Amino acid sequence: MSHNWQPKKPSPVGIWHKTTLQEAREQQELQRQQNQPFQQRAVLTTTTNVAIGQKRSINDVRPQLYNGPPTVKRPTPGPSKTPTPGFTPSAFMKASSGPPPLTASTIDYADPVATAAKGGIPSEYSQRRALPSTPTSTSDPLLSLSHPVYKLPKQLVANFASLGIKTIYPWQKQCLLGPGLLSGDKNLVYSAPTGGGKSLVADLLMLKRVLDDPAGEAKAILVLPYVALVQEKVRWLRNVVSGISRSGDLGQKQPHLEGKQQLWARRPDKDTIRVVGFFGGSKMRATWADFDVAVCTMEKANSLINAAITDCSISKLRAVVLDECHMIDDGYRGYLLELMTTKLLCLDQQVQIIAMSATLTNIRLLKDWLGGHSYETHYRPVPIEEHLVYDGKIYPATTTASLLKTASQLDTRNATTTTTTTTTTTQGPPPSTTSSLQHIRFIHPSLHREFKDPVLNAVVALANETARAGYGVLVFSSSRAGCESDAVLISRVLPSFQEADPLIRERRLDLLNDLRSSSTGLDPKLEQTIPCGVAFHHAGLTTEERELIANAYDAGTLKVCVATASLAAGINLPARRVILHGARMGIDLVGPAMLRQMRGRAGRKGKDEVGETYLCCRRNDLEAVVDLMHADLPQITSCLVSDERRIRRALLEVIAIKLATSREALDEYVGRTMLACEQRLAEKETDEWEDQIRGYIEIGLEKLKEMGFITVTVDERFETASYSTTKLGGAIVASSLDPEDGVFIHKELERALKGFVMDGEMHVLYNFTPVSGLGNGTSVNWKVFWNEMEKLDESGLRVMSFLGLKPVVLNRMLQGGILKETTDEEKDTARRYHRFYLALQLRDLCNEVPIHRVAQKYDVPRGTVQTLAQTCQGFAAGMIKFCEAMGWGAMAAALDHFADRLKAGARADLLSLSKITFVKSRTARVFWDNGFKTVAVIANADPKELVPVLMQAQPNKVRLEVKDEQKYLDKLLAKAKIITDSANRIWQIEMQQELMEEE
C-alpha cells in the first residue's frame, strides 16, 4: 500500500466528504477531549455544514470546485442555550451509545475537466435538464377538472385541488375523452408508467359512475392485489369524497319524509359516499348495503360479486376497477380476476370495467376481451436517469436501450479481459473498450472493513450522498436481514442526531415515541437508525410499524428507507434516488416486471426535477443482469387451464350462483373468458381447440360430480341437462374455498361434529387456521412444538389425540426426522400438524399475549405473527359461512364467538371493550382492571380520567423531562377523546338495538 498520500482533486459537484485521514484525526481529537467537561470540548471541523432536510445552493459550491473543500465549523455538541424541543440528554446518550460512526466513500467524476468543458457542471448534486414545460389549463382548458365536459361536482374538484391535483396531464385528458368512457358505455384498459398518474383516470371514471346515478344506489368496486394497497387507497378515496353528498346539501329537507314522525335521526352518512375496505382480517364483513365504493383484495372482490349475483343486488353495480391487472396470469391467485371479470361480461347489464397496469405489453388482448377502448402512454412527469454501478464505477443510461447496451459492453469487456490476460506479453495489450464505454463517476474504495464489499460500499456511498443533500432515498435489498443490515450501516455514515435540524430532531423523537408506545414496542435496530434518518420496511414489521415508518419517510422525517424487493409493488414511497442492492429477491433474480416496479419509484412529483436509479451489480451476476435487462416484459396469458383445479372452481362458482346452469350456458361462459379471446387472437380457435375446451369442461363437470359438489338433472323431453350445486358445493362457494381445500375442510368439520372438544379453545382455534399457504411459508419449530405440547392441559391433549397427532411423531421430528408427504393421507396428516402448531400461536394471541412476545416464543418475525392473525380472521369468517350453509348452526355460533376473540386478541370478558377505537387487548385489560368495564362507563367518562389509564397501558414506560411531559400528556388526552367519542357511538347503537328489541 502506498503511503505517498496526495489530496484528491475535489469533486466538481456535490457535497464535500471527509476523507478517511480526516476522520481518523477527528476521532483522535475526540478521544483527547474525553476527559474535559462536556461544555468545554473543542469544536471540531468538518467538510460539510449541510443538515438533513436542507440543500446547498450551487452558488456555494462553484467557487470551491477547484480550490479544495471549505473548512467550516460544526455546531458544538454541547447543550445550547435554546433547548431543542423534544430533545433530552437521555435520548442523546441512547442515540450515541451505538457502534462508532463510519465514513462513506467519496464519489468523484471520472474526468472533471472534460465535464466542466462540456458545460456539464450540474446544479446542486444531481443533473437537471431544461425540460419542456407540461401544458397548463391556461393553454388547454380541458386540462382543468372543472371543465364542463367532465361534469364533476364542484366539491369533488375542490377536494382534488386540496390534495394537490389542480390540473391533469395531456395524456389523462386524451384517455378520459376516449369514446364512451365518461358516459360509462365503454370499458377501458390502459397502461402508464409508475408515477405517471394512471390511478387518477380510474378514480374519476369510477366516482362518476357512483355520483351520476339518479337513484343514489350505484356501487363501485376497486380491486387491488395487496392489503397494504387496499388500506392506503381507502384513506385516499375517503379524502377525495369528503363532504360530497349524492343529494346536494347534507342538511337539506327530504320531501318524502316531511310530515312523518321519525323515531331515530337519519344516518349521518346516508347521502355521503361511503368507502369501505374489504380484505382478509378486516373487521368489516362483506355486506353489499354498507358501502358505495368497495376497495377489495382479489379474493374479497370475487366473493362480493358472487354474493351480489346470488341475491340479485348486482344490478346496483356500475363500475369495477382492476388495478395491477397484469397479475391476471399469476397462477396462485391472479386467475380469480379472470373468473370475476368473465362473470361481469356475462351479465345483461352495463358494468364499466376499467383495467390498468404499468407493465402491460399485449394490451390488445385485454382490449378485445373487454370489448373496450385502450390507451398507452410512456409519459412520466418526472424523468428518470438510469445508471449501472459495476466494480465501483457508475455508467450512465439515459434510456433503457442504452442501459442494456452498457451492461452488454461491460459483459463483453469482462470476457475479453479474462481471455486476453494470459496473452498480453506476446500479443500486446487487450483492445480497449473504454473509448466507447466511459464511466462518468467512480466510487473510491473504503478503508473500513465493513465496506470491503464493493457493491455494499456503492450502496452506502450513493445513499449517503443523496441524504446529505436533503433528498429521499429508497434502497431495495434482497432479504429482510439485508434490509436491516443496510439500514444500520447507512445510518452510521450519516450525520448524527445532534447535527440534524431542530425540527427534524423533534419529529424523529416523536416517531421513536410513537413506535415505543405501539403494541410491540420499539425495535432495537430502529432505535439505532431512526435518529440518523434511516429506517427499514419489510413484512417482518407489524402494520402499525410499517405505517408509521412510511408516513415519516413521506413527510421527510426519514431520508432513507430500505425495503425488500417483494414490497416494491406493495408500497407507494417515491424517492429522488432508488438504489438496487443487487438484482435478486432472496436467491432468485427479480423478474422484468418487478425490476420496472422498483425503478419506477424514482422521482417525486412536486419535489424532484429528476429521478435516479442505480442498479449495483455484482461481478458474478453481470451476465444474468444483462439477460434480465434484455428480457422483454412477459406477455400476460390466461392460466385458467394450466391447472385443472382452476377450471373446476370456475365451473362450480357459476353453477352455484346460477349464472350458468346448462351445458350451453357453461360453453358460453367459457367462450367469454380471456382464454378463449387469447385463442381467437392467435387464430387457434379451430375445431381441435374447441374440442379440447369441451374436454376440459366435461372432465371438470365429471370431477365435480365425483366430489359431490354438483348434481345433474336430465329433462328427457327436451334432451337437456341442468346443473345445480349440492349443499356442500354451495357451502364451498359461499366460504370462498378452493374445491380441493373444501374437501379437506368438510372432512375435518364433519369429524369434529362427532366429538367437538368444547371445554377448551384449541379445537376451535385449530379450525381457524388456513389449509393452503400455511403460515406464509413458516416452518414448524419442533422444539417449541414439543415444549408447548408438554404444557397443554387435558382438553388440549384430547384435541391432539382426536386429530391423530402423536407425541412419538413429535419426538421423532425433534430428533431430525422427516414428515412424509407422499400419499394424500400423509399430506393431510402433515397439514394437521402444521395447523395445530399455528393454532398454538392463535391461542396465545387470544389470551392477550402481545404479538412481539408470541414472535419471540416461536422464533418468527412479529409481522409474520400479525399476518397469521389477520389471515386466520378472514379464514374464520369463511368457516362460519361454511357451517351456516351446511346447516350446522351450533358449530357456526361457537366459531363466531371465538372469531370475535381472535379479532380482539382478548378473552371473552373484554369483547365489548375491544370494539372501541385504540382499545386493544392490552389496553382493554388495563381499562378493565381500573374499573372501566363497560362501553357505557367509558362513554360517560371525562377524557382526562382516561389519561392515567393510557399511561399504564404503554408497553414501555417512557421517562420524560418536565418540558416534554406536557406534550406527551396532550397526545394521550387527544387519544382519550377519540376513545370516548368511539365509545359514545357504540353505546348509542347498543341503546337503539335494545329499544327496538323491546318494541
Angle of CA points 615, 617, 621, to nearest 5°: 135
Say yes or no to pLDDT of 202 above 90: yes
Say yes or no to pLDDT of 9 above 50: no
Q: Are 932 and 941 in contact (CB under 8 A)?
A: yes
Hey, how many other C-beta atoms are within 10 angstroms of the C-beta on 130? 5
More confident residue, 52 or 328: 328
pLDDT at 764: 92
Give the pLDDT band (50/70/90) at residue 591: confident
Say yes or no to pLDDT of 7 above 50: no
Report domain 644-725's class: mainly alpha
Amino acid, single-letter form, for residue 630: H
E strand or H helix at 507: helix 502-516
Q: Residue 861 has what DSSP assignment?
A: -
Distance of CA 727 to the CA centre of its chain: 37
More confident residue, 470 or 56: 470
From 354-363, 424-433, 457-466, the region with the lowest mean pLDDT = 424-433
pLDDT at 429: 40
Pairing of strands 473-477, 577-581: parallel
Say yes or no to pLDDT of 290 above 50: yes
Give the pLDDT band (50/70/90) at residue 673: very high
pLDDT at 43: 38
Distances (CA, A) of 248 to 210, 219, 244: 14, 18, 8
Distances (CA, A) of 795 to 759, 761, 764, 836, 846: 6, 8, 12, 14, 17
Residue 461 makes CB contacts below 8 A (sequence gap 6+) with 104, 105, 106, 107, 443
pLDDT at 773: 66
Say yes or no to pLDDT of 923 above 90: no
pLDDT at 14: 39
Which range, 379-393, 422-436, 791-805, 978-992, has the best average confidence (pLDDT)? Answer: 791-805
Give the pLDDT band (50/70/90) at residue 610: confident
Say yes or no to pLDDT of 374 above 90: yes
Dihedral sign (CA 302, 304, 307, 311): negative
pLDDT at 681: 82
Q: Residue 575 has what DSSP assignment?
A: B
Question: What does residue 949 show for φ and ψ, rounded to 5 degrees?
Answer: -70, -45
pLDDT at 733: 94
- Four-point Cα dihedral 618, 621, 625, 627, nearest 10: 160
Say yes or no to pLDDT of 174 above 60: yes
From 262-266, 330-334, 516-520, 889-893, the region with the lowest mean pLDDT = 262-266
**Mean pLDDT value across residues 516-524:** 84
Q: Are 567 and 539 in contact (CB under 8 A)?
A: yes
Give the pLDDT band (50/70/90) at residue 526: very high
pLDDT at 263: 43
Cell of 125: 448534486
Say yes or no to pLDDT of 35 above 60: no
Give the pLDDT band (50/70/90) at residue 388: confident
Q: What string of DSSP letters covers 444-475?
A: PPPSSGGG-SHHHHHHHHHHHHHHHTT--EEE
pLDDT at 339: 94
Give the pLDDT band (50/70/90) at residue 209: very high
On whether the 170-249+269-376 domain is CATH 3.40.50.300, my answer is yes
pLDDT at 130: 39
Distances (CA, A) of 954 to 507, 759, 951, 962: 20, 33, 6, 19
Give the pLDDT band (50/70/90) at residue 597: confident
Q: Are 24 and 38 in contact (CB under 8 A)?
A: no
More confident residue, 395 or 367: 367
pLDDT at 423: 44
Residue matched to cell numbers 366459531: 895
Distances (CA, A) of 694 to 645, 679, 699, 999: 16, 14, 8, 58
pLDDT at 428: 40
Say yes or no to pLDDT of 92 above 70: no
**Mean pLDDT value across residues 223-252:** 80
Q: How many residues does the chain have?
A: 999
Give the pLDDT band (50/70/90) at residue 124: very low
Report domain 1-111+385-417+434-634's class: alpha beta
Q: What percent helix, strand, coil does the chain show, rounded to 5? A: 50, 10, 40
From 268-277, 464-473, 765-774, 943-952, the region with the lowest mean pLDDT = 268-277
Question: HSE on the CB side for 55, CA within 13 Å?
Answer: 14
Span 837-895, pLDDT tens digits:
999 999 999 998 888 899 999 999 998 998 888 889 888 989 999 999 999 998 999 88
Give the pLDDT band (50/70/90) at residue 424: very low
pLDDT at 650: 94
Give the pLDDT band (50/70/90) at residue 808: very high
User: What average pLDDT does the structure give for the chain?
Assistant: 80
Cell of 688: 381441435
Domain boundaries, the chain: 1-111+385-417+434-634, 170-249+269-376, 644-725, 734-905, 908-999
Give the pLDDT band (50/70/90) at residue 272: confident
Q: Do domains 644-725 and 734-905 have the same CATH topology?
A: no
**Mean pLDDT value across residues 770-788:** 80
**Mean pLDDT value across residues 479-495:** 94
Return the closest-CA partner of residue 606 out of 163, 176, 191: 163
Give the pLDDT band (50/70/90) at residue 47: very low
More confident residue, 445 or 69: 445
What region, left, alpha or beta, does residue 262 occupy, with left being phi > 0 and alpha being psi -120 to 50 degrees? beta
Q: Are 444 and 110 in contact (CB under 8 A)?
A: no
CATH architecture of 734-905: Orthogonal Bundle (1.10)
Residue 963 makes CB contacts below 8 A (sequence gap 6+) with 83, 85
| Long-range Cβ contacts of 874-877 (<8 Å, 24+ apart) | 874/279, 874/280, 874/281, 874/282, 874/299, 875/280, 875/768, 875/769, 875/770, 876/768, 876/902, 877/285
